[in-house]
Amino acid sequence: MIKIATAECFTQGKIGRELHAIAQGYTGDFGREYVKDLESYGDFDYNELSVTCSLFIPTIEAVVKILNVKNPPKPDKLIKGIKVYDEKGDLQVSKIMAHAIKDLTDCDIAIGTTAGIGHGGICIITDEYEISTTTDVYADLCENNSEGLFQRSQNGIRKTLEILLLLLNNRVDEIESLENIELNIF
């Protein structure tokens, strides 16, 4: 069994929810929303997946108290406690969140996402890999542009799921060929 846990900000737990639907084989209204063609990724047995938890972590307080991160980077700004970083900060904090949820849950795959100003930060870690990237959509949380924020979130969910499904199907070479990917091997 491969256990997955997520600590999500701008993707609002939707990556974890989609992975749960995939793992459980749910169909219809309760089924997958973002991934329609699992077979195109390979022959991985998705019955071998289990979602340990999927957390929505928008605030710096939650990073500290729930993820047990002792000294997270100071946000550039706070909006009702919601952490706002620039793109570089989002990449750094998505890694911190992924590592923290992996440590807390002892899962096999951990995902961290966060986005403030810029392209949202995404990190997927396993015992072998740390894969980080940003969304293809720019948005600014301070502008409160709902459509722009929604588009960045949707792109982040889809991009994260694509990378993860490629990873599960041992297609690491294809992950490396994607734009804007940093892949570290442990």
161, 162, 166, 167 alpha-carbon torsion, rounded to 10°: -40
Q: How far apart are the C-alpha atoms of 63 and 84, rounded to whole Å?
A: 13
Chain segment 84-135, per-residue pLDDT in tens: 999 999 999 999 999 999 999 999 999 999 999 999 999 999 999 999 999 9
Q: Is 181 exposed, middle or buried (0-12, 13-18, 19+ CB in 10 A)?
A: middle
The closest of 120, 116, 123 to 156, measured between CA atoms, is: 120
Which CATH number characterizes residue 180's domain? Answer: 3.90.950.20
Structural domains counted in the chain: 1
Give the mean model confidence (pLDDT) for residues 1-21.
98
pLDDT in tens, 142-176: 998 999 999 999 999 999 999 999 999 999 999 99
Range of the domain at 20: 2-185
pTM of the predicted structure, to 2 decimals:
0.97
Nearest in space to 112 (alpha carbons), one of 1, 4, 22? 4
Residue 10 vs residues 44, 58, 90, 151: alpha-carbon distances, Å: 28, 7, 11, 11
Q: Determine the pLDDT at residue 144.
A: 83
Cα separation, 79 vs 151, in Å, equals 20
